[in-house]
C-alpha cells in the first residue's frame, strides 16, 4: 500500500521556529500536491479563569482564537500551496490528536526544542506526548536555525532517508513510507538494523571458521534480509542500500545518521499497551530526543 500525503498538518506555537515548521510543511505539500492544515491550540493556565464568569471566559477564548487566526494568516500570506487554519482551545497534544482524526490528516509536522532533567521527567515534551497519544504519522523537526527567505533558496530537503528496521516481524509499513518519501524527494534510502549482541546463528560450528568469518557471514545474511524488504518492482527511481550496526540501537543509529548526513530517520510509532493506551518504544523515544535530523514516527502495528 502506498502511503498518502494529501493532508498534512503543521502544529505551530508562534515561537521563532514556527516559520521553519511551516516552511518544511510547504515543501512537503509542493512535493506531494498536498493541502496544508495550520494547527494551533490556545491553552490557558487554569488559574487565569478560575475567578471569572463563564461569559468573560468565553469572550477571552474567542479573542485569543481570533488573534491566533490572524497570526496564521500573516505566516501563510502569499503561500503557493492550499492551506486551512485550524485553531482550537485546550491542551495542544489532545487537540492535535483530535484534529488529526477529525480531519483525516495523513501526517503531522511539529518541532521539538528538547528538554532535559526534571522538566522532561515530570512534564515530557509536547512531541513525545503526541507521539505516544495517537497513531497518525508524526514528523518531528529538529530546528537548528531560522529558515532563510524563499529568495535565498529552500532550507528543507530530504536527500538521504534512513529506515530503522526490525526483522521480526518485518517493518512493512515503515519501509513503504521510506520508499514513498524517497521517490517523492528523489532521495537515497538506507535500511538500518542494529544488533545489540554479537550475531550468533543456531547450529553454527565455530571450529569450521574463525569468529570474524562467522560474524561477517551472519552480517551478510542480515544485509540480505534488509535488502529483501524493498521488492525489485518498487526500486525504480530509488537508490536503496542496507547498513547493519553493532551496539545499542538508539545510540548506534544516532551516531550513524549523524556521520552519514541523514536528513530523516523513520522509526516505529506507538503501540497499544495491554491497558489500551499508546506507548512508544525506547529506541523511538531516544531518537525523538537525540537524533540530529528529522524523525518520522509511524505506527507499525
Last-in-domain residue among 89, 124, 156: 156
- The C-alpha atoms of residue 192 and residue 283 are separated, in whole angstroms, by 13
- The C-alpha atoms of residue 18 and residue 66 are separated, in whole angstroms, by 18
Mean pLDDT of the region 139-163:
70
Determine the structural domain holding residue 267 and report its residue range: 157-301
Number of domains present in the structure of the chain: 2
Task: Tell me what percent of the residues of the chain surpass a pLDDT of 90.
Answer: 46
Residues 186 and 99 in one domain: no
> Is pLDDT larger for residue 145 or for residue 253?
253
What pLDDT was estimated at residue 202?
47
CATH code, domain carrying 54:
3.40.50.620
Read off the C-alpha cell for 210: 574463525
HEC states along 60-119? Answer: HHHHHHHHHHHHHHHHHCCCCCCEEEEEEECCHHHHHHHHHHHHCCCEEEEECCCCCHHH
Chain CA centroid to CA 252, Å: 19
Residues 162 and 297 in one domain: yes
Residues 17-68 have pLDDT tens digits of 888 899 999 999 999 999 999 999 997 655 444 555 566 667 778 899 999 9
Mean pLDDT of the region 270-287:
61
Last-in-domain residue among 110, 138, 156: 156
Residues 6 and 146 in one domain: yes
Residues 115 and 193 in one domain: no
What pLDDT was estimated at residue 113?
63
Residues 144 and 2 in one domain: yes
Residues 3 and 133 in one domain: yes
> Is pLDDT larger for residue 217 or for residue 190?
190
Mean pLDDT of the region 116-121:
40
Model confidence band, residue 272 (pLDDT cutoffs 50, 70, 90): very low
What pLDDT was estimated at residue 128?
74
Last-in-domain residue among 95, 129, 156: 156
Mean pLDDT of the region 67-81:
94
Residues 151 and 197 in one domain: no
The least confident of 64-73, 85-94, 165-174, 256-265 is 165-174
The least confident of 31-35, 98-102, 245-249, 258-262 is 245-249
Residues 19 and 150 in one domain: yes
Residues 147 and 215 in one domain: no
What pLDDT was estimated at residue 56?
60
What pLDDT was estimated at residue 122?
39
Query: Position of cell 518520522?
Result: 296
Residues 221 and 252 in one domain: yes
What pLDDT was estimated at residue 114?
54
Most confident by average pLDDT, 62-66, 129-133, 198-202: 62-66
What pLDDT was estimated at residue 121?
37
- Answer left, alpha or beta for residue 90, where phi above 0 means left and psi between -120 and 50 means alpha: left
Residues 186 and 56 in one domain: no
Residues 152 and 127 in one domain: yes
Amino acid at each position: 500500500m502506498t502511503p498518502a500525503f494529501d493532508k498534512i498538518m503543521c502544529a505551530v506555537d508562534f515561537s521563532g521556529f514556527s516559520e521553519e515548521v511551516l516552511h518544511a510543511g510547504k515543501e512537503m505539500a509542493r512535493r506531494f500536491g498536498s493541502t496544508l492544515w495550520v494547527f494551533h491550540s490556545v491553552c490557558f493556565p487554569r488559574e487565569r479563569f478560575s475567578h471569572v464568569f463563564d461569559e468573560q471566559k468565553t469572550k477571552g477564548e474567542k479573542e485569543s482564537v481570533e488573534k491566533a487566526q490572524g497570526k496564521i494568516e500573516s505566516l501563510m500570506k502569499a503561500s503557493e500551496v492550499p492551506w486551512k487554519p485550524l485553531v482550537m482551545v485546550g491542551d495542544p497534544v489532545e487537540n492535535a490528536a483530535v484534529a488529526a482524526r477529525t480531519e483525516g490528516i495523513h501526517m503531522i509536522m511539529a518541532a521539538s526544542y528538547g528538554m532535559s532533567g526534571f522538566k522532561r521527567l515530570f512534564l515530557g515534551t509536547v512531541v513525545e506526548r503526541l507521539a505516544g497519544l495517537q497513531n497518525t504519522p508524526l514528523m518531528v523537526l529538529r530546528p537548528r536555525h531560522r529558515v532563510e527567505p524563499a529568495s535565498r533558496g529552500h532550507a528543507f530537503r530530504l536527500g538521504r532517508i534512513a529506515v530503522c528496521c526490525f526483522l521480526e516481524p518485518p517493518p512493512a509499513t515503515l519501509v513503504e513510507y521510506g520508499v514513498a518519501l524517497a521517490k517523492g524527494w528523489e532521495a537515497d534510502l538506507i535500511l538500518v538494523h542494529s544488533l545489540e549482541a554479537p550475531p550468533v546463528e543456531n547450529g553454527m560450528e565455530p571450529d569450521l571458521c574463525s569468529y570474524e568469518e562467522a560474524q561477517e557471514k551472519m552480517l551478510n545474511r542480515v544485509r540480505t534480509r534488509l535488502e529483501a524488504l524493498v521488492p525489485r518492482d518498487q526500486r525504480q527511481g530509488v537508490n536503496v542500500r542496507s547498513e547493519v550496526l553493532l551496539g545499542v540501537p538508539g545510540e548506534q543509529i544516532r551516531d550513524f545518521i549523524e556521520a552519514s548526513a541523514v536528513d530523516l530517520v523513520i522509526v516505529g510509532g506507538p503501540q497499544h499497551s495491554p491497558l489500551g493506551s499508546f506507548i512508544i518504544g525506547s529506541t523511538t523515544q531516544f531518537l525523538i530526543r537525540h537524533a540530529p535530523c528529522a524523525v518520522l514516527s509511524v505506527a507499525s502495528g
